[in-house]
Structure 1
Amino acid sequence: MSVTFQQLKAHAAEWLLLKVKYPLQYRLSRQRLPELRHQKKIILTLLPAHDNLGDHAIAYASCCFLQKHFPDYQIIEVDMQEMYRLARPLKHARHPEDIVCIIGGGNMGDLYRYEEWTRQFIMNAFKSYPVIQLPATAHFTETKRGKREERRAIQAYQQHPRLLLMARDQTTYQWMKQHFPNKEVWKQPDMVLTLDETSKSQTRKGVLLCLREDKEAYLTKEKREQLQEHIKETYDQVGFITTTIGKRVNRTTRLEELSTLWTQLRQAQVVVTDRLHGMIFCAITHTPCVVIRSFDHKVMEGYEWVAHLPFMTLLKEPTEEAVKKAIHQHMKTSGQKGEEAG
């Protein structure tokens, strides 16, 4: 991953320097904020304000990455609700080299329309800024609404003159290349994969299940419950976790919540998950993981970035027998490593 992101840093810096050389068309305002106008800023926006820790991990990782690789810039974090209120003051406080970064994730499409509409608002409001869409997954459903929302999104993206698009999977990359032939389009891994949350001292026990119960689930409710019962009958220690924790999280509480979840993962011998960030969290904590596909391409193509890790297994057809076999294999491997270490 480090090579990929070193390339990302170099290319992004080159792209940004190239773009900011062009004349910037904007009118100065007396209302601009004096404490910000003399400081180069990266406005990191579309931050979540809900309970999905996967999205909060993307926001946290994006902020850490930008702070590390662009130390001359002040990072201004703006969540979705704040953006509608702060767009004008931020433009009043503009420095000529300001940049807008939109965090990535899986909300590009018609499944999460509020997030998608906010993305389009940002692109329209900051049309004279360089805008970077960080690694995202696009999914527009094959419905009248989905086709309508796709046309709307394509029009909004096309109208931005200085937009860099990043896809975190091949399907999204092809979609972006097809519809935006005149824009920069890169394929990059999910930003959370820039993190390293391993721990030297850890004792692992049991199986943790992290399975979806929403519209993105591949398993039906009946099949999910059958799988859970089967695993509980087979293994003595089985726990349940979720990346949607049922309470509001913001940028002041996200690291505490993420650290709690990562600690749980580091204590598990094997995790079974159909969540993209369940898989990615296992990758950054070096936790053995059995990955079940989701209803779309997101998990299966996201697996491409972690397929080289020996403790990750993808099941395209997650039968009970296949899941049990994969868990057993990881248990056996981790047990052998424990004996060798002892």
Structure 2
Amino acid sequence: MNHIEIIERQRAALHEAVRPFLRQGDSYALLDFPDYANVGDSAIWLGASSLLRSLAGRDASYAASHKDFSLDALVRHCPQGPVFIIGGGNFGDIYPAHQQLRWTLLRHLPDRVIVQLPQSIHFDGEEGARETAAAIAAHGQFHLMVRDRASAAFAQSHFDCPVILAPDCAFALGPLPRPVTPDRPLVLLLRSDGEQSGEEYAPFDSLGTTPVDWARLPAMPADVWRQAKWKALRSGRWSRMARHIEVLNAQARWRLDRGLALLAAGETVITDRLHGHILSILLGIPHVALDNRTRKVSAYHALWLEGLDNACVAGDAATAVVALSRLGRE
């Protein structure tokens, strides 16, 4: 199956999963903006923003990261309507600040529908899972979207809430054009954070390519903020929140553009980042994906991407090198 067919199937599935929670004209909040360098989470934010805007016909009434979130501001700007939490791979105890935001929402907004957009779930210990389960049970209006079968099985056995399988929100971006012409045979995008698999990557030495990671992007220029604020004003969005949302989207777009340019520089890609895999699909780049520590790459691929004709998942680095040659690289 070609990558366009895969993308369109997932866009349709996303629309179907989210549509019951939002109607034209509804106000809503979108929370946990990724205020950090990870390109994949910026792709998720922009995909979710586009999807929700298409369903409601408007931007969010309130948006925030976990760092600048204010319960009072949420209630003031968005007194009614669903609260959406951005998807990704931080549902669990690896990233406690994001989980703390979920607990805060569940405990302090008992009268609001809260929708967790598609996540992968991973808990290293039982304590965090028990605390999350208690908060979900006490709330009663929490809807949990997950993007792989293992997460669905865990959620169904631990949490008392509707569990919905849905694709990653980055697919709402649709097919993307290559922003640059390839100038090298291969981009080797490998994690440099706590989600590294710990597998031996010595076989990659034979490829003669230095690994890169988009978690190490350069600092964002100040012009990104200034231009976003002027864009909001020129389009008649005068409120402080409207300008704030425009700035958030501009930051996410800047990070995504850097990541797309990094991937598109290669004729092919090998990556252990799930969104290295997903964005390579959106760009139509032949590539090989490896698993990370939480195995979310293979879990996602097995559910949504089987049969993709220009990409595969390899179990280890040596297999990835062989698989790459089969995708057309000598």
| Unmatched runs of 5 consecutive residues or more in structure 2 | 1-6, 221-246
Cα deviation, 1:250-269, whole Å, max 9, x if unaligned, reads: 72322122112212322311
Cα deviation, 1:275-317, whole Å, max 9, x if unaligned, reads: 111111111111111111222231111113223321111112x
Q: Is the CA contact (8 Å cut-off) linking 2:89 and 2:119 kept in structure 1?
A: yes
Q: Which residue of 1 aligns with 2:99?
A: 116
Q: 2:186 aligns with which of 197, 207, 214?
A: 207
TM-superposed CA distance for 1:140, in Å, is: 0.7
The secondary structure found in structure 2 opposite 1:44 is strand
Q: Which residue of 2 aligns with 1:191?
A: 169
Q: Which residue of 1 aligns with 2:203?
A: 227
Cα deviation, 1:73-121, whole Å, max 9, x if unaligned, reads: 64532111121xx21132134444x110000111111111111111111
Correspondence list, 1:135-150, <5 A? 135-141=118-124, 146-150=125-129
CA RMSD of aligned residues (A): 2.4
Q: Is the CA contact (8 Å cut-off) linking 1:266 and 1:286 kept in structure 2?
A: no
Pair 1:291 & 2:293 matched: no
Pair 1:81 & 2:64 matched: no
User: 1-side partners of 2:17 and 2:187: how far apart?
Assistant: 39
Q: Is the CA contact (8 Å cut-off) linking 2:21 and 2:82 kept in structure 1?
A: no
User: 2-side partners of 1:270 and 1:230: how far apart?
Assistant: 16
Distance 1:155 1:244, change over 3 A: same
What amino acid is the match of 1:228? F
Cα deviation, 1:184-204, whole Å, max 9, x if unaligned, reads: 211011111222343279643
Distance 1:11 1:282, change over 3 A: closer
Q: Which residue of 2 aligns with 1:9?
A: 15
Pair 1:168 & 2:150 matched: no
User: 2-side partners of 1:314 and 1:164: how far apart?
Assistant: 30
User: 2-side partners of 1:309 and 1:56: how far apart?
Assistant: 24
TM-superposed CA distance for 1:219, in Å, is: 3.5
Q: Which residue of 1 aligns with 2:238?
A: none
Q: Which residue of 1 aligns with 2:258?
A: 260
Q: Which residue of 1 aligns with 2:236?
A: none
Q: Is the CA contact (8 Å cut-off) linking 2:22 and 2:55 kept in structure 1?
A: no
Correspondence list, 1:1-342, <5 A? 1-15=7-21, 40-72=26-58, 74-83=60-69, 86-96=70-80, 98-141=81-124, 146-181=125-160, 183-199=161-177, 203-204=181-182, 205-220=184-199, 223-224=200-201, 226-232=202-208, 238=209, 240-246=211-217, 251=248, 252-304=250-302, 305-316=304-315, 318-320=316-318, 322-332=319-329
Question: Which structure has more RCO (C-alpha within 8 Å, separation ≥ 6)?
Answer: 2
Largest Rg, 1 or 2:
1
The secondary structure found in structure 1 opposite 2:292 is coil
TM-superposed CA distance for 1:147, in Å, is: 1.3
The normalised TM-score by structure 1 is 0.78
Q: Is the CA contact (8 Å cut-off) linking 2:11 and 2:174 kept in structure 1?
A: no
Distance 1:324 1:4, change over 3 A: closer
Distance 1:324 1:157, change over 3 A: same
TM-superposed CA distance for 1:41, in Å, is: 2.0
User: 2-side partners of 1:156 and 1:270: how far apart?
Assistant: 44
Number of equivalenced pairs: 294
Task: Give the fraction of aligned pairs with identical amino acids, expressed as a percent.
Answer: 22
Give the stretch that moved more between structures: 306-315 or 242-251: 242-251
What amino acid is the match of 1:69? L
User: 2-side partners of 1:208 and 1:49: how far apart?
Assistant: 25
User: 1-side partners of 2:15 and 2:30: how far apart?
Assistant: 16
Distance 1:302 1:199, change over 3 A: same
